[in-house]
A and B are shown apart, each in its own frame.
Chain A
């Protein structure tokens, strides 16, 4: 039977560990500084531009999330089990009456919570700066963008934990997480572009290939939240809007959710089937 008290214990421990992890603190500080910095630059540069100013700031923040947040979530997720395994504390912990699923879920929830708190802090201060600068941008759109950024973070943390399950050493886990980040950020895009160029893919296939990448799904969701359409993406955006209409947002959120559930399920299966140490 699943013991939620054990899960809660691990969540608390994971959150405490994260606050003592210098990598997490560096990431959090960097993210918050950049978010607030871009918001302030947006305010200064967009005085008198009203909504256009907000849109530009939002676009900058979307790109910031695309670069930093997956790296933060993947790396910390990948380190979570691997570092305990390397130190030997994982074996000691598993010698207690705790299930594999409880440990894994506790670690995931704890990590997701601190990452989401970091996003909330960064974006929260950023919103205050925008409000202080007199930006009359859409609060709902900003909040939606933050929410999908959190969904992306949670998904990337789940992928990080999947990497962690298979890693015996922290160095391996970090290397694999950085490779995965590169795959999502650069190689995935280049692959889709190259395939489209060489094979002259139809729009439908191009769109399907694009939404396999969780970062692209976040980008589409965030643009939808800020602009209510995907015109800025050209033919593929128009195709998506025309084909899925109002369901597109739900489809994108469902894909981001799947990027959490599938890696977590795989992590649990692999963690249970492998030797703990």
Chain B
């Protein structure tokens, strides 16, 4: 489905993607994984033809440079930053992009499955983050494209919306769609990806199954815990007193832990009467 050969993208003196080559077979689910600035989003943008690049990118045999329109007709894209035309109504947005894709209709089951029907009359700016993400997915699925590209699809969602969205992605995978996505979240990579492409400073350093990759790079995890602001310092003290390597930033608390201890952190906080509002897990790459 996707053929990438010696893909290189430079921004002035910076080489954001450096000689990256990979293939994605039809029906495969492939995660692009790496730290911020590793080149994940740049690769997706090259696949979409949004950047000029060196090397070769083909989607279903179509060269993105010369047959970009044909290639883009075969794919749906969900960006990280949802940048629709905010003053358009949801129904008009669906019709506008469906017409660009030459889709003759928007399937009823798509609107029902994504729970968009009650919101069709609203302006896009009125939608919550979760609903915007659903709208983005609906737009990506219009015309039933075989390939779906996702850029950090759950980055801006709360726990519940993230779970719902992941269920949808699993269904799409089961339906035989080819998925290529970037993610920081361990659970999204471990459960959804058939293969993980690990990127570091624009270079492809590993291409393996999630299980095999975990063995290769070790089992240290980065756990981010989100508590009430007034309990943040108390939580830090409790965790450090228990011997965890923890630090706070404006968003929450970062704790580096062995994979088997992730529940210990949560138990420690709950025993100290600290309410855990949310948490996320990532493989620790550089720490």
Residue pair B85, A17 in contact (C-beta under 8 Å): yes
From B25-33, B67-75, B158-166, B204-212, the one touching the partner chain is: B67-75
Is the C-beta of A136 less than 8 angstroms from some C-beta in chain B?
no
Q: What CA separation (Å) do A275 and B48 show in the bound complex?
A: 11
> Pick the contact of A88 from B83, B96, B99, B100 — CB < 8 Å?
B83
Q: What CA separation (Å) do A98 and B50 show in the bound complex?
A: 12
> Pick the contact of A95 from B77, B85, B99 — CB < 8 Å?
B77
Query: Which residues of B (53-92) have their CB < 8 Å from a CB of A?
Result: 69-70, 72-73, 77, 79, 81, 83-85, 87
A263-277 CB mask vs B (1 if < 8 Å, else 0) is: 000000000011111
Residue pair A91, B100 in contact (C-beta under 8 Å): no
Residue pair B99, A9 in contact (C-beta under 8 Å): yes
Chain B residue at smallest Cβ distance from A88 = B83
Residue pair B100, A92 in contact (C-beta under 8 Å): no
The residues of B that contact A87 with a CB separation of less than 8 Å are 83
Residue pair B50, A13 in contact (C-beta under 8 Å): no
> Pick the contact of A97 from B83, B87, B100 — CB < 8 Å?
B100
Q: What CA separation (Å) do A92 and B88 show in the bound complex?
A: 15
Q: What CA separation (Å) do A274 and B50 show in the bound complex?
A: 9
Is the C-beta of A89 less than 8 angstroms from some C-beta in chain B?
yes
Is the C-beta of A99 less than 8 angstroms from some C-beta in chain B?
yes
Is the C-beta of B22 less than 8 angstroms from some C-beta in chain A?
no
The residues of B that contact A95 with a CB separation of less than 8 Å are 48, 50, 72, 77, 79
Q: What CA separation (Å) do A87 and B77 show in the bound complex?
A: 17
Residue pair A276, B51 in contact (C-beta under 8 Å): yes
Residue pair B69, A97 in contact (C-beta under 8 Å): yes
The residues of B that contact A93 with a CB separation of less than 8 Å are 100
Is the C-beta of A186 less than 8 angstroms from some C-beta in chain B?
no
Is the C-beta of B105 less than 8 angstroms from some C-beta in chain A?
no
Count class of interface residues, chain B: 20 to 34
B133-152 CB mask vs A (1 if < 8 Å, else 0) is: 00000000000000000000
Residue pair A92, B79 in contact (C-beta under 8 Å): yes
Residue pair B101, A94 in contact (C-beta under 8 Å): no
Residue pair B79, A88 in contact (C-beta under 8 Å): yes
Q: What CA separation (Å) do A149 and B70 show in the bound complex?
A: 41
The residues of A that contact B87 with a CB separation of less than 8 Å are 17, 20
> Pick the contact of B99 from A5, A17, A273, A274 — CB < 8 Å?
A5
Is the C-beta of B52 less than 8 angstroms from some C-beta in chain A?
yes
The residues of A that contact B72 with a CB separation of less than 8 Å are 95-97
The residues of B that contact A92 with a CB separation of less than 8 Å are 77, 79, 83-84
Chain B residue at smallest Cβ distance from A5 = B99
Q: What CA separation (Å) do A44 and B125 show in the bound complex?
A: 49
Residue pair A276, B69 in contact (C-beta under 8 Å): no
Is the C-beta of A229 less than 8 angstroms from some C-beta in chain B?
no
Residue pair A91, B99 in contact (C-beta under 8 Å): no
The residues of A that contact B85 with a CB separation of less than 8 Å are 13, 17, 89
Chain B residue at smallest Cβ distance from A1 = B69
Provided the pairs A5-B99, A88-B83, A91-B50 are in contact, do residues A99 and B69 lie with their beta carbons within 8 angstroms? yes
Is the C-beta of A6 less than 8 angstroms from some C-beta in chain B?
yes
The residues of A that contact B49 with a CB separation of less than 8 Å are 94
Chain A residue at smallest Cβ distance from B69 = A97
A128 to chain B, nearest CB (A): 33
The residues of A that contact B84 with a CB separation of less than 8 Å are 89, 92
The residues of B that contact A273 with a CB separation of less than 8 Å are 52
Provided the pairs A95-B50, A97-B73 are in contact, do residues A9 and B100 lie with their beta carbons within 8 angstroms? yes
Residue pair B73, A91 in contact (C-beta under 8 Å): no
The residues of A that contact B70 with a CB separation of less than 8 Å are 97
Chain A residue at smallest Cβ distance from B9 = A275
> Pick the contact of B101 from A97, A275, A277 — CB < 8 Å?
A97
Chain B residue at smallest Cβ distance from A3 = B69
B165 to chain A, nearest CB (A): 18
Query: Which residues of A (61-86) have their CB < 8 Å from a CB of B?
Result: none
B52 to chain A, nearest CB (A): 6
Residue pair B45, A91 in contact (C-beta under 8 Å): yes
Query: Which residues of B (139-191) have their CB < 8 Å from a CB of A?
Result: none
Chain A residue at smallest Cβ distance from B47 = A95
B123 to chain A, nearest CB (A): 11
Q: What CA separation (Å) do A88 and B45 show in the bound complex?
A: 13
Chain A residue at smallest Cβ distance from B53 = A275
Q: What CA separation (Å) do A93 and B96 show in the bound complex?
A: 10
A89 to chain B, nearest CB (A): 4
A210 to chain B, nearest CB (A): 41
Residue pair A9, B96 in contact (C-beta under 8 Å): yes
- The 10 A-B residue pairs with the shortest CB-CB distance, nearest first, are A88-B83, A276-B50, A89-B83, A96-B100, A97-B69, A97-B73, A95-B77, A97-B72, A95-B48, A275-B51
15 residue pairs of the A-B complex, CB under 8 angstroms, read A9-B99, A9-B100, A13-B85, A88-B83, A89-B84, A91-B45, A91-B79, A92-B77, A95-B72, A95-B77, A96-B100, A97-B72, A97-B101, A98-B69, A276-B51
Q: State the A residues within 8 Å of B (CB).
A: 5-6, 9, 13, 17, 20, 87-89, 91-99, 273-277
Q: State the B residues within 8 Å of A (CB).
A: 45, 48-52, 69-70, 72-73, 77, 79, 81, 83-85, 87, 96-97, 99-102
